[in-house]
Chain A
Amino acid sequence: MASLESLTEDLLVRIYKGLASDGDRKSWRLVCRDFHRIDALTRSSLRVLRVEFLRSLLANYPRLDTLDLSVCPRIDDGAVAVLLTSRGSPWAFPRAASSSLSPPGRDPLAWTRGLRKLVLSRSTGLGHHGLEQVIRACAYLESVDVSHCCGFGDREAAALSCGARLREVKMDKCLGVTDVGLAKIAVGCGRLEKVSLKWCMEIGDLGVDLLCNKCVDLKFLDLSYLKVTNDSLRSIGSLPKLEVLALVGCSLIDDTGLQFLGGGCPLLRVIDMSRCNGISSCGLISVAKGHEDLVQLNASYSLTECSSILLRCFKDLKNLNAIKIDGARVSDSAFKALSNCTSLVEIGLGKCIGATNLGLMRLVSGCVNLRVLDLTCCHSITDAAIFAISDSCRNLTCLKLESCNMITEKSLYYLGSFCLLLEELDLTDCGGINDTGLEYLSNCLELSCLKLALCPTISDKGLGHIASKCRKICEIDLYRCNGIGDDALAALSSGCKKLRRLNLSYCSDVTDRGMEYLGQLEELWDLEMRSLFNVTGVGLMALAAGCKRLADLDMKYCENVDDSGFWALAYYARNLRQEAKLVHLNKVTVEGFELALRTCWVRIKKVKLLAALRFKLSSDVRETLHSRGCKIRWD
């Protein structure tokens, strides 16, 4: 320890800053008091699970600039009021640990002055009074995220507009916000640079027009799924600094509107127009001609026909590195034209009619720098195309081959031989894949995400190869892989310690033993295990005891799970909070549900239960869940 003590504080800070993951930082905190202090002094962002500790945490971290309350299930007006009182609250938080670290006379609201970013995503319990209090208290706030607060409306928007310094507002899926609310924000926060209004279905042209008039510094604008028309694009075209524009699913805009874009927004670099049914190649040409510095262009599922003229236009865009034209009809000559865009790094060709072996070969002959290639549902491509791709594009990191039925283990051989940087591979529904193929693939040591759903031909053996070599894997999808059993899970649990997401639904061979193996995966976060008949309460108990981080659990139709498993789940899974789907569990009694819910209800946000339980569950359980902000879906 003497050597550790000799390290000066700033050296420790430098070391601390090298820590990448939350887990490592947690370990660091636990080393000793000095390390804990370094953590406290250096830490700039905080993501809180429990609102009970928030006050003391805020007092302990003076450098905090980012506060994330998105996983705090119930932050409401009352909690905010208590948080913002300058005196000690009547229901005093445990401050014993913090009092030794923080000077006693410090202003308990000091954190409000340092805070720059506040994430209140999914804070459905917060009302406009509380929100306004927070925004007013944090005078230097620059970024606020209230996305997925579905109940938010104009009043909440008005509360946000109190933050005059705000540069970034994210309000995706605030369903109640109308043009009026947006006008409030536009007038109140004139410095806005990033605004995301995705799924704010009530917002229309007038609001957008006003926003563009009042907030001329806008750099990022997301209007996805809004009912905006060309009028909005006309106003958007007048924004001098806009760089990123997302118009996903704006079906009311057409080529005329895109001409406004083509003539305006001189700095536009990224534009996403996917699922805009009204646009055609003509509109895209006007956009492409107006913006030579375009970097990303997403027009997936917008075009029915992708003309060669359009693709030739792309040649002039020297910086273009990503283009998505999923769903369009593409000819071989178009591929030829596209191959001239040597700067391309990412191409999306999902569901493109006419994406053939020949076309792809032409494409990759030019675009050798490709890293991401999406060939979802290009049914006609075969191993030959994969050979050409892997041979030309050695830097490929992501390849999506979902539903490419013609490819076989040869393709995986090519990938395993040439594309050693591959990180993500989607082989969903590729019936030609077998264990040999997976063995070839295991050469791709960087692999982190592997989707093998609906590949019934693979077995424990093949997955064993992957698990033994691809140690970086954090996500595996084995949905309906009937050949998978407990041995595969054993291999995964020993090889892929970083696994965070796993889908085992309908892998009916998995038993309690497999669950025990899974219990060794400490990082496991999201587990889907529908319809595993052979798993009982014992297996669930083992899982719950081991996977402390488990947050999302789907155990629909696990009919043999009984109360004992539930109790264990309730006891151990302290983090289980966001979603639990607990339906069709015949053996679990009402008491079991009640117990589980009672223990979890502080944290749980969303639960899906069988409709029959509605009347069986005691009313106070339901009411308490409700009052804590938990959503119950009855199935």
Chain B
Amino acid sequence: MDLKMDLEERLRAETWGKPSSVNDLPQRVPPDRQTQFPNFASHKNLQKREDQDPSISNYGMRIEPSFSEFNRPSECQPPLPSNPISQDRGVQMNDILQLGKTQEWDPKAMLNNLSFLEQKIHQLQELVHAIVGRRGPVLGRPDELVAQQQQLITADLTSIIIQLISTAGSLLPSVKNSLSSASTPPIRQLGQLGGILNNSGSGIGLDSNLVLPSQGGSKVPDQSNQVDPMDQSAIDNLEDHESKDDEDGDEGENLPPGSFEILQLEKEEILAPHTHFCTICGKGFKRDANLRMHMRGHGDEYKTPAALAKPHKEAGSEMMLIKRYSCPYAGCKRNKDHKKFQPLKTILCVKNHYKRTHCDKSYTCSRCNTKKFSVIADLKTHEKHCGKDKWLCSCGTTFSRKDKLFGHITLFQGHTPAIPFDENKGGLSLQGEHNEDTNKVGNVSFSFGSSTPSSGGVQNIMEDVKGNVDDPSSFFSPLSFEASNFGGFNEFTRSAFDDSEGAFSFLLQASCNYTQKNGGQSSSNNLE
């Protein structure tokens, strides 16, 4: 009973016990309190020790040290700079501060907020531990006491959640400038902290509705420690896999704002063909693995297993961060200033998103001459199925499956299926081989920008024009043709759509646009 009273008094004495005062937290916590890390570390150690402690029956033993720990953060206000880790981090933090000088948000204050929150979670955790420890042997406790404990914990949790949200809210709009992902471990650390807080917060939020808050409380640190590496590995997997659905993939992910680090690459960086450069010869690579393979040629020191290993792996366990990316295009939903900002998960997502959404679609399918893409992988995917889209709507949309077409027609008023004219199917297979060839050429010689797969399409246009001279619906400006250089393409096969005059006149128009854009430069210069 004394123990309990003691607890309560201590809690009352703490400032964070009053939920009404959560908003003026930054004032309460001095901005120069940078040194919560040693405490954090010691807490972790303590936790470990407790977990390993085999004498579970000895409750008094367990409670006592935990209380001493509990009191320490609030009592020993002066930081402990002797810790080398903290020093190191402090240096990095200064770097960050210099980086972010122009920005209006104060990472120091943020860090303090987060540390403070973490501290409080630990306090709460220990309180719950204490309760758990006492409840076991003494079953005959009065019910009102249990209820009081519950109330206490619930109130604490509520205040933590509110603080967390307010912290996050202050963080979100302030993150603006881009920070290269590779050069910001402290930010990662920060994000990791945020992630822990977030995870624990949400865990409490979930469990606080339940009857047993003690369980939720005791779980918190474990949860945060376990979840983060998993997230990290998940992100790694995503990067390796080059997932295409990345943009939509994270729609459902409901990360609260501020719980992750937001990075924003510049447009030039996004559109750069290579992201990894050889420090010796300057050759660029798309993938780091390719760079490492390349490095082997520069000497034996690059052939060691350590040099060939994935560089981020060992850091992964310590720097557990949730990284999210912002699109540099202002006004985009993926831009961090957007009201309903939805972050992108990986750099690849950023690249694909930026190209798909904010770039010209310069890759035209050479089979249908109508579909355009800005990401070459999309073009390849499309070309696998192109030609099979025999289900055509009156609006010009094609579908590979009849039921998709009918679903489309059901959805849109006035749309009807178009009745295809008899097509010449013979040319399709030849056309396909041809496309693959040109695609290869495009990959080898150009990694980015206008490329060659559309060269077949150019030929198609020419053929189509010949076939459709008398068709009034397929109007062409002859200028656009003269503007583009068609030399050297006469050997290509005829188009599959030669004789489909009326139905595909819109396709011709589309392809016409294409030639105006980049048909000439890409095809004539690069295919010789």
Of B167-175, B200-208, B409-417, B485-493, which binds chain A?
B409-417
* Least distance between B289 CB and chain A CB atoms (Å): 47
Roughly how many angstroms separate A209 CA and B409 CA in the complex, as a whole number?
A: 11
> For the complex, is A210 an interface residue (Cβ under 8 Å from B)?
yes
Are A180 and B417 in contact, CB atoms less than 8 angstroms apart? Answer: yes
Contact status of A183 and B419, CB under 8 A, knowing A206-B402, A206-B403: no
In the complex, which residues of chain A have a beta carbon less than 8 angstroms from the beta carbon of B417? Answer: 179-180, 183-184
* Least distance between A276 CB and chain B CB atoms (Å): 24
- Indicate with 1 or 0, residue by residue over A145-174, a CB within 8 angstroms of chain B CB atoms: 000000000110010010000000000000
> For the complex, is B475 an interface residue (Cβ under 8 Å from A)?
no
Roughly how many angstroms separate A161 CA and B112 CA in the complex, as a whole number?
A: 71
Are B419 and A179 in contact, CB atoms less than 8 angstroms apart? Answer: no
Are B416 and A154 in contact, CB atoms less than 8 angstroms apart? Answer: no
Are A210 and B419 in contact, CB atoms less than 8 angstroms apart? Answer: no
* Least distance between A174 CB and chain B CB atoms (Å): 14
Interface residues on chain B, number (Cβ under 8 Å): 10
Are A206 and B414 in contact, CB atoms less than 8 angstroms apart? Answer: no
Interface residues on chain A, number (Cβ under 8 Å): 17
* Least distance between A260 CB and chain B CB atoms (Å): 18
- Indicate with 1 or 0, residue by residue over A362-403, a CB within 8 angstroms of chain B CB atoms: 000000000000000000000000000000000000000000
> For the complex, is A187 an interface residue (Cβ under 8 Å from B)?
yes
A111-159 at interface with B (beta carbon < 8 Å) = 154-155, 158
* Least distance between B52 CB and chain A CB atoms (Å): 61
- Indicate with 1 or 0, residue by residue over B95-126, a CB within 8 angstroms of chain A CB atoms: 00000000000000000000000000000000
Are A206 and B419 in contact, CB atoms less than 8 angstroms apart? Answer: no
Are B402 and A188 in contact, CB atoms less than 8 angstroms apart? Answer: no
In the complex, which residues of chain B have a beta carbon less than 8 angstroms from the beta carbon of A209? Answer: 406, 410
Roughly how many angstroms separate A498 CA and B192 CA in the complex, as a whole number?
A: 100
In the complex, which residues of chain B have a beta carbon less than 8 angstroms from the beta carbon of A213? Answer: 410
Roughly how many angstroms separate A213 CA and B409 CA in the complex, as a whole number?
A: 10
* Number of A-B residue pairs with CB-CB distance less than 8 Å in the complex they form: 34
In the complex, which residues of chain A have a beta carbon less than 8 angstroms from the beta carbon of B403? Answer: 206
- Indicate with 1 or 0, residue by residue over A169-207, a CB within 8 angstroms of chain B CB atoms: 000000000011101100110000000000000000011
Residue from A158, A187, A214 within 8 A of B419 (CB atoms) = A158
In the complex, which residues of chain A have a beta carbon less than 8 angstroms from the beta carbon of B409? Answer: 183, 187, 210
Are A180 and B419 in contact, CB atoms less than 8 angstroms apart? Answer: yes
In the complex, which residues of chain B have a beta carbon less than 8 angstroms from the beta carbon of A180? Answer: 417, 419
Roughly how many angstroms separate A209 CA and B402 CA in the complex, as a whole number?
A: 13
A401-439 at interface with B (beta carbon < 8 Å) = none
In the complex, which residues of chain B have a beta carbon less than 8 angstroms from the beta carbon of A188? Answer: 416
Roughly how many angstroms separate A188 CA and B416 CA in the complex, as a whole number?
A: 8
Roughly how many angstroms separate A176 CA and B403 CA in the complex, as a whole number?
A: 19
* Least distance between B413 CB and chain A CB atoms (Å): 8
* Least distance between A518 CB and chain B CB atoms (Å): 51
Roughly how many angstroms separate A161 CA and B419 CA in the complex, as a whole number?
A: 13
* Least distance between B420 CB and chain A CB atoms (Å): 9
- Indicate with 1 or 0, residue by residue over B386-428, a CB within 8 angstroms of chain A CB atoms: 0000000000000000110010011000111101000000000
Are A154 and B419 in contact, CB atoms less than 8 angstroms apart? Answer: yes
* Least distance between B395 CB and chain A CB atoms (Å): 12
In the complex, which residues of chain B have a beta carbon less than 8 angstroms from the beta carbon of A184? Answer: 416-417, 419
Roughly how many angstroms separate A184 CA and B393 CA in the complex, as a whole number?
A: 11
In the complex, which residues of chain A have a beta carbon less than 8 angstroms from the beta carbon of B414? Answer: 187
Roughly how many angstroms separate A155 CA and B414 CA in the complex, as a whole number?
A: 17
* Least distance between A176 CB and chain B CB atoms (Å): 11
Roughly how many angstroms separate A188 CA and B460 CA in the complex, as a whole number?
A: 34
Roughly how many angstroms separate A179 CA and B391 CA in the complex, as a whole number?
A: 11
Closest to A154 in B: B419
Are B410 and A161 in contact, CB atoms less than 8 angstroms apart? Answer: no
In the complex, which residues of chain B have a beta carbon less than 8 angstroms from the beta carbon of A206? Answer: 402-403, 406
Closest to A212 in B: B410
Are B415 and A210 in contact, CB atoms less than 8 angstroms apart? Answer: no
Q: Mark A residues whose CB is within 8 Å of B.
A: 154-155, 158, 161, 179-181, 183-184, 187-188, 206-207, 209-210, 213-214
Could you show 29 A-B contacts with beta carbons less than 8 Å apart?
A154-B419, A155-B419, A158-B416, A158-B419, A161-B416, A179-B402, A179-B406, A179-B417, A180-B417, A183-B409, A183-B416, A183-B417, A184-B416, A184-B417, A184-B419, A187-B409, A187-B414, A187-B415, A187-B416, A188-B416, A206-B402, A206-B403, A209-B406, A209-B410, A210-B406, A210-B409, A210-B410, A213-B410, A214-B410
Q: Mark B residues whose CB is within 8 Å of A.
A: 402-403, 406, 409-410, 414-417, 419
Supplied contacts A183-B417, A213-B410, 20 more A-B pairs, CB within 8 Å = A154-B419, A155-B419, A158-B416, A158-B419, A161-B416, A179-B402, A179-B406, A180-B417, A180-B419, A183-B406, A183-B409, A183-B416, A184-B416, A187-B409, A187-B416, A206-B406, A207-B406, A209-B410, A210-B409, A210-B410
Please provide the 5 A-B residue pairs with the shortest distance between their CB atoms, ordered closest to farther: A180-B417, A206-B406, A187-B416, A154-B419, A183-B417
